[in-house]
Every structure is written in C-alpha cells, then in structure tokens.
C-alpha cells in the first residue's frame, strides 16, 4: 500500500506524492519509495531499534504561517553511578567463597586506584554462621592491619552497613595458583618456576614467623597464593591465621584445608611455624607433580616416581616437610629457603639475597624497632687493593697477562 502524501522533513507539511519541493517552505522533498522496493528498506535500522532515547513531536505555531511539526530525539542522561561508601565504584565480582564475595572496585576518592573489596553478606547467614563470619572478618582485619610486607595485601579501611561487612585492600591483578594451572592447561610447573614460587613464599612466611608473637598462617595452599602475570607471588586470605600463644596445648578450633593442613590442625596440638612448613611442602608437592594432596591426605605417594627429574636432595627436603610428626620437619622456613636457593642460577641467588637483606632491614622486628644502619662502605683505597688482589688471583689461575686500571 502506497503512502498518499510526502511529508516535508523541514516543516512537516503534507505534499502530493509527485511533488519535488514543499509547497509551504520550498524545501526539497525526497523521492518517493518505489513500489517494487523491498519492504525491509522502510524498516528502522538495528541502531535505531536499539536506541533507548525518547522520541517527541515538536509543534511550532507561528501567526500567518502553516503549523510546523518536527520529530525530535531527546537523549537520556547517563544514569548516576552508585558509589559504595560514597567513594567506591564496583566494577565486577572477581571471586566468591566463605561467607561472601570479593569485588574489583575503583576508588574515586584516590585517583581511581583499583582496590579489592571483600564483602561478607550477613543477611544470608544463620546466627551461628554470622558469628563465625564476624570472627573471621575481625581476625583478618586485625592481623593484616598490623603487617607490612611486599607479598601481603595492604588494608586501607573497613566499614559496615545494615547487611554487610566490608574490607578494602590492595587489588592484586592475577589469579590463584590453582586457577593459573587450569589457565595454562598444564598439570604441573617446571622445577625453576616451582623453586621461584617456593622462595617467594619462604620470604613472606619467614617474615610472619619472626614477628613477636609469631603469626601462623595455617592455610598455605594454591588457592590462597596469588600470582601476577609477571610471576610475583602474594599470600592472601588471613581468615584462619592466628598469633602463636606460648604454652597453649592445642588450637581452639581445628581449621585448615584437607590435604594441605597438617595433622596438628585437627585438634592434636597447637599450630606452630612447622604447621606452615607442612602446608608449604604440600603446595610445592602439588605444583611439581600435579597430584592433589586432598586425594589422599597424610598418605601422599613418594614424589620421585611422580617427578623423576627432581634432584634427590630436593625430594628428601619435601619429604621431611611433609612429615606427620612436626618434630621431624625442618625447624624454620629459613633453612628451606637456603636449600631451595642452591638450585637456582647464581644471578638469582645474588638478587634474592639482596632482597632478603633489604626486607630484613625494613621488618627487623615487626614491632617498630629501628632499622639497623647499613654497613659502612669500604674506602676507595680498600677497593683498589681488592681489585689488585682479584687481578693477581686471575693471572695465577689463567696464566694470562691482564691489565688492571686503578681509579
């Protein structure tokens, strides 16, 4: 069916179908659609259909002139962004677990810095769960607020509303180690990568264990270890961490993850630094072999058949870390760290040692004690003497004539 009139786009007046210009304003008229043209040509475009802007008819009344009718589109204003606590713009949910979820957010009050917000949803919990969730929240808040280490997330603030507890901390752009393995579609990691991860974990665990009183993490496992794209490791989720209490026979509650939790975490004894050593050993075992310790807790297969290229001394170290009797495990993480360093390239060992010295200076006691001053640098004369002695040693070693330039 053909349209009986052509309407002017300028003034809206109705014209005959064969008119070339508007009789009212003289504006050129579009050519009428052909009868043979497909009907789809007269349909609105996809962009027009998706547009949510409001459409209005505008009437213009002028004395002595024909009435002007125009179709206009009024753009709707962008909806206001709702900010959590008046400053945090929630961008996406990045994880769930326990009693709530973790969100990535933008801190609009601090240069749009990315933060992670852990939200505990109290309105979905029973009375007993709410008590446990509150205890977990307070434990993590108090512990992390007192810690300062490069491989731990920093706490910025906490707040509550009618149904939630919120904890704002560093956003770590990465994924947990168990998710990382799924992402790369590999059952296990190369020895070099596992050693690197182990050394970084030793660094942060050694810091925690040297505090006064020591902090026992109690949940070392791949899901609580974040890895950035650059390979940097962070220890997260202090929900069941606790401070060591001298003289206490056992922990108040048996907490931990099956396969990675030491036997003493099941109410047999108080957890100590050797408890974290067990969790570290189980984590390294999993990363090297791909065998999940939760499959057969406390009865893991020997590691060498699963990882034949592993040096025997490293296999013995991991076996001792996984001993069921805490007294049979290495006494502290520093011993494990030194053993792992022996299998890394020399350049890595030098860099790691420098980092350890600097970290020890920054966190000398974990209780605000002054940092020890740097050792005095040798005088220029002493440097030259050392250079000459080094040159003499090289000449004797290689029988070559070398020129040493004194500064």
> What is the pLDDT, as a whole number, of residue 401?
39
- Rounded to whole angstroms, the Cα distance separating 177 from 133 reads 25
> What is the pLDDT, as a whole number, of residue 380?
40
| Catalytic residue selected from 219, 237, 251, 276 | 219
Enumerate the domain spans of the chain.
6-74, 88-170, 187-362, 380-407
Look at residues 226, 219, 170 and name the one whose alpha carbon lies nearest to residue 197. Answer: 226
> What is the pLDDT, as a whole number, of residue 32?
60
The structure's pTM equals: 0.66
Specify the CATH number of the domain 88-170: 3.30.200.20
Ranges of residues in the chain whose predicted pLDDT is under 70: 1-5, 31-80, 240-256, 268, 346-407
The fold of 187-362 is: Transferase(Phosphotransferase); domain 1 (1.10.510)
Torsion of CA 368, 369, 370, 371, to 10 degrees: -90
> What is the pLDDT, as a whole number, of residue 76?
65
Q: What is the 3-state secondary structure (H, E, C) of the chain?
A: CCCCCEECCCCCCEECCCCCECCCCCCECCCCCCCCCCHHHHCCCHHHHHCCCEEEEEEECCCCCCCEEEEEEECCCCCCCCCECCCEEEEEEEEEECCEEEEEEEECCCCCEEEEEEEEEHHHCCHHHHHHHHHHHHHHHHHHHCCCCCCCCCEEEEEECCCEEEEEEECCCCEEHHHHHHHHCCCCCCHHHHHHHHHHHHHHHHHHHCCCCCEECCCCCHHHEEECCCCCEEECCCCCCEECCCCCCCCCCCCCCCCCCCHHHHCCCCCCHHHHHHHHHHHHHHHHHCCCHHHCCCCCCCHHHHCCCCCHHHHHHHHHHCCCCHHHCCCCHHHHHHHHHCCCCHHHHHHHHHHHHHHHHHCCCCCCCCCCCCCCCCCHHHHHHHHHHHHHHHHHHHCCCCCCCCC
Handedness of CA 210, 211, 214, 218 (dihedral sign): negative
> What is the pLDDT, as a whole number, of residue 97?
72
> What is the pLDDT, as a whole number, of residue 363?
53
Specify whether 219 is catalytic.
Answer: yes
> What is the pLDDT, as a whole number, of residue 379?
44
Residue 32: asked if its preceding bond is cis (omega within 30°), the reply is no
């Amino acid at each position: 069916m053909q349209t009986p009139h052509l309407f002017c786009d300028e003034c809206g007046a109705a014209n005959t179908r064969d008119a070339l210009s508007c009789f009212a304003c003289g504006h050129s008229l579009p050519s009428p659609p052909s009868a043979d043209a497909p009907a789809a040509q007269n349909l609105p475009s996809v962009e027009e259909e998706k547009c949510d802007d409001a459409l209005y008819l505008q009437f213009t009344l002028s004395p002595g002139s024909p009435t002007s009718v125009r179709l206009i589109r009024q753009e709707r204003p962008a909806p206001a962004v709702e900010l959590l606590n008046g400053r945090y713009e929630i961008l996406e949910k990045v994880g769930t677990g326990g009693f709530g979820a973790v969100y990535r957010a933008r801190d609009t009050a601090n240069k749009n810095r990315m933060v992670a917000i852990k939200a505990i949803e109290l309105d979905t919990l029973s009375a007993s769960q709410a008590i446990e969730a509150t205890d977990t929240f307070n434990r993590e808040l108090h512990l992390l607020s007192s810690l300062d280490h490069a491989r731990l997330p920093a706490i910025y603030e906490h707040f509550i509303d009618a149904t939630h507890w919120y904890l704002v901390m560093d956003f770590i752009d990465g994924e947990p180690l168990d998710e990382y393995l799924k992402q790369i579609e590999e059952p296990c990691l190369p020895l070099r990568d596992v050693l690197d991860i182990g050394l970084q974990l030793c660094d942060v665990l050694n810091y925690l264990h040297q505090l006064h009183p020591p902090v026992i993490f109690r949940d070392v496992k791949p899901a609580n270890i974040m890895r950035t794209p650059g390979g940097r490791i962070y220890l997260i989720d202090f929900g069941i961490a606790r401070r060591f209490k001298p003289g206490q026979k056992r922990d108040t509650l048996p907490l931990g993850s099956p396969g990675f939790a030491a036997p003493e975490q099941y109410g047999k004894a108080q957890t100590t630094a050797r408890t974290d050593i067990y969790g570290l050993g189980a984590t390294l075992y999993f990363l090297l072999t791909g065998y999940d310790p939760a499959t057969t807790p406390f009865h893991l297969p020997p590691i060498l058949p699963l990882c034949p290229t592993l040096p025997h001394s490293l296999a013995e170290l991991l076996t001792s870390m996984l001993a069921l009797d805490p007294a049979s495990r290495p006494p502290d993480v520093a011993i494990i760290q030194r053993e792992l360093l022996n299998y890394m390239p020399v350049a890595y060992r030098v860099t790691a040692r420098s980092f350890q010295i600097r970290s020890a200076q920054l966190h000398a006691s974990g209780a605000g004690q002054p940092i020890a001053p740097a050792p005095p640098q040798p005088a220029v004369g002493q440097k030259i003497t050392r250079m000459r002695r080094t040159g003499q040693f090289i000449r004797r070693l290689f029988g070559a004539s070398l020129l040493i330039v004194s500064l």
